[in-house]
């Protein structure tokens, strides 16, 4: 019974925490990349105000913002995956700990 308990504690404390950190980083990469969509949309509104503006219909502007957010978000998430393709290894090759004597 001690082996199962030790393994469960190891799983809960180590593996889940590292997976959560990795998923957090992946989501952070997507959101951080997507944040560039705001500046790209504003730049488009400044450079070409007749095509992209918020006063005479927001269709083109919202499509630009959504497409830019999605593309830059995916790009940054993929860059995160390039740097960290999997959660960090635990360092233990044996998940089952030996019972304490």
Contact 19, 90 (CB under 8 A): no
Inside any domain, residue 8: no
Total structural domains in the chain? 1
pTM: 0.64
b/e burial code for range 71-95 (CB count within 10 A of at least 16 → b): ebbeebbeebeeeeeebeeeeeeee
Contact 61, 68 (CB under 8 A): no
Average pLDDT on 4-17 reads 70
Inside any domain, residue 40: yes
Structural domain boundaries, residue 63: 16-83
Per-residue model confidence as pLDDT tens digits over 38-88: 888 888 888 888 877 777 666 777 888 888 889 988 998 899 888 888 877
What pLDDT is recorded for position 3?
52
Inside any domain, residue 28: yes
């Amino acid at each position: 019974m001690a082996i199962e308990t030790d393994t469960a504690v190891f799983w809960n404390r180590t593996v889940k925490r590292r997976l959560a950190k990795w998923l957090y980083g992946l989501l952070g990469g997507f959101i951080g990349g997507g944040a560039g969509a705001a500046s790209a949309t504003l730049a488009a509104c400044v450079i070409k105000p007749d095509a992209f503006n918020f006063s005479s219909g927001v269709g083109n502007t919202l499509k630009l913002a959504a497409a830019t957010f999605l593309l830059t978000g995916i790009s940054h998430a993929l860059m995160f995956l390039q740097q960290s393709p999997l959660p960090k290894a635990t360092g233990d090759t044996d998940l089952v700990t030996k019972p304490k004597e």
